[in-house]
Structure 1
Amino acid sequence: MLSFHCTSEILHTPFINKLLCRFITNYRSPPDYSHVVFPLWDKRKLPLLPKNPNAQSNTKPRKMPKRVIDIRGPELVHNKLIHKQFGVQALLGGNLTYGHIESSRLKINRKMDTNKMFAIWRIDAPWKPITKKPVGSRMGGGKGNIHHYVTPVKANRIILEMGGTVEFEDVYWMLKIVAHNLPFRARVVTQKMLEEEVALKQKLKEDNINPFSFDYAVHNNMLGCQPQLSKYDYIWNNEYR
């Protein structure tokens, strides 16, 4: 006669174990937002930047030369994330006009949720004057009048930052639109991405067994390469133009 005192043996059979595993779900632990510091309520959105710099009384706006060096080479100061979360980084140098800045501000402020997100600028308001002569004017006559103002940006410069109690997937689509509409190549970055790039660059430098680097070849004038290079090739080792 069949006995029912073997309940524990029945539950530990392979068939029952496989059946019970179907109802078990492994949820990942929630992210830690203890390091997030929110600004004040009225400062969580991107502020409106002035179109022109404040003019001084009884003085004419000052004209400036082109100064291509303002957009040439890498950014050495504002190339890291302050809030250690997400942002938009420039890959090449260029000039940001007021239209680019205002377009980015409207796209972010209209889509973001201020209850769990915030955004800050990492660039200055337009300050560099760009001159232009009227159409059809003759050559000569000195420098033209100021037409508009721009913000020079170098490579690796952080344009804006976003943060809050959100994950990367929640802000990626907003930052991607901003990066796509800038006048130069840009990308969406995270703190983890920047840290991995620095570690990879350091690892490649340590594991490199080739003694003939670009810096070594230039400073030793190998194959007579020095006359063909500019002074910026000595400084940036041919990484930036």
Structure 2
Amino acid sequence: MNIQKLILLRVPSVHILQSCGMKHFPPPPNYDHIQLPERPKLRFMDKVPYIPPGSRAPKMQKKLRLMRGPETVHNFLIHQQYGIVALGGGRLKWPHFEMMRLAIGRKIDPDRMFAIWRVDAPWQPVTKKGQGQRMGGGKGAIDHYVTPIKAGRVILEVGGKCEFKEVKGFLHNIAMKLPFQAMAVSHEMLKEREEKEKWEEENNQNYYTMKYCMQNNMGGCHKWMSPFDYKFLGKYL
């Protein structure tokens, strides 16, 4: 065999266009348009609402309608970054506010991040009678105050010069400790969720929707349905 052929067989092939493991990373996001507020941390919420001197604290009914149905006002992120959104109705007590305030105060970097409340301080009174008392005798004394929450309500927002990966962990832990179902979201997640619900409603191929079943008394559902089922079509409990 020719000596030149032997040399070519022994020499390994080398590609001139090899990049030697070179990787391309996208540029970091630009946060020059974000302005941090003077108070980056969550403010303290009062345990009891302010009552003018000389007046008595008013009592109130349960008003469960304040927790039913979807939230129609505070259902978007003002700063279009990150936050916690309620997935169901419930009530926030003062210890829940303190839990969120202390947890976020420990986790965020105040030099480049901030957090704001999107809910009011506890304002609805909840009455309770002492243990062992008989029925009757009028309405009990005020035990504590709560803030009613509807599904889709934004509880708080976190923003600043940071990415969602930095805040997702502690926002998820806080959402799991709330007395109702909640989740950590970003502005993009809320937009995708809204578009998905709209697409599913427009492209639904199932003829037997919840609205059709309720209107036509399928399975005798009129016996156990409530006015709220007709209003929300079984979507919100």
Question: Which residue among 77, 82, 86 is the counterpart of 1:81?
Answer: 77
Q: TM-score, normalised by structure 1?
A: 0.87
Structure 1 pair 173–192 and aligned structure 2 pair: CA distance change class (3 A): same
What is the Cα deviation at residue 16 of structure 1?
Answer: 3.1
What is the Cα deviation at residue 14 of structure 1?
Answer: 4.9
SS at match of 1:176: helix
SS at match of 1:37: coil
What is the Cα deviation at residue 164 of structure 1?
Answer: 0.6
Question: Which residue among 56, 66, 72 is the counterpart of 1:70?
Answer: 66
Which residue matches 1:17? 17
Q: Distance in 1 between matches of 2:21 and 2:119?
A: 52
Question: Among the aligned pairs, what percent are the same residue?
Answer: 44
Q: Distance in 2 between matches of 1:217 and 1:228?
A: 13
Letter in 1 for 2:168: Y
Q: Provide, for residues 167-207 of structure 1, a one-character-per-residue CA deviation record: whole Å limited to 9, x for no partner.
A: 01111122122112211121111111111111111111222
1:171 and 2:167 matched: yes
Structure 1 pair 35–214 and aligned structure 2 pair: CA distance change class (3 A): farther
Q: Distance in 1 between matches of 2:106 and 2:206?
A: 52
Q: Provide, for residues 138-177 of structure 1, a one-character-per-residue CA deviation record: whole Å limited to 9, x for no partner.
A: 2211111011111111111111000011001111122122
SS at match of 1:16: coil
Q: Distance in 1 between matches of 2:224 and 2:143?
A: 37
SS at match of 1:210: coil
Question: Which residue among 176, 200, 206 is the counterpart of 2:196?
Answer: 200
Which residue matches 1:160? 156
Which residue matches 1:38? 36
Any unmatched runs of 5+ in structure 2? 1-12
* 1:35-114 equivalence runs, <5 A: 35-39=33-37, 41=38, 43-114=39-110
Q: TM-score, normalised by structure 2?
A: 0.88
Any unmatched runs of 5+ in structure 1? 1-12
Structure 1 pair 223–100 and aligned structure 2 pair: CA distance change class (3 A): closer
Q: Distance in 2 between matches of 1:150 and 1:239?
A: 25
Q: Provide, for residues 27-66 of structure 1, a one-character-per-residue CA deviation record: whole Å limited to 9, x for no partner.
A: 1121233553322x2x211001111111122211000011
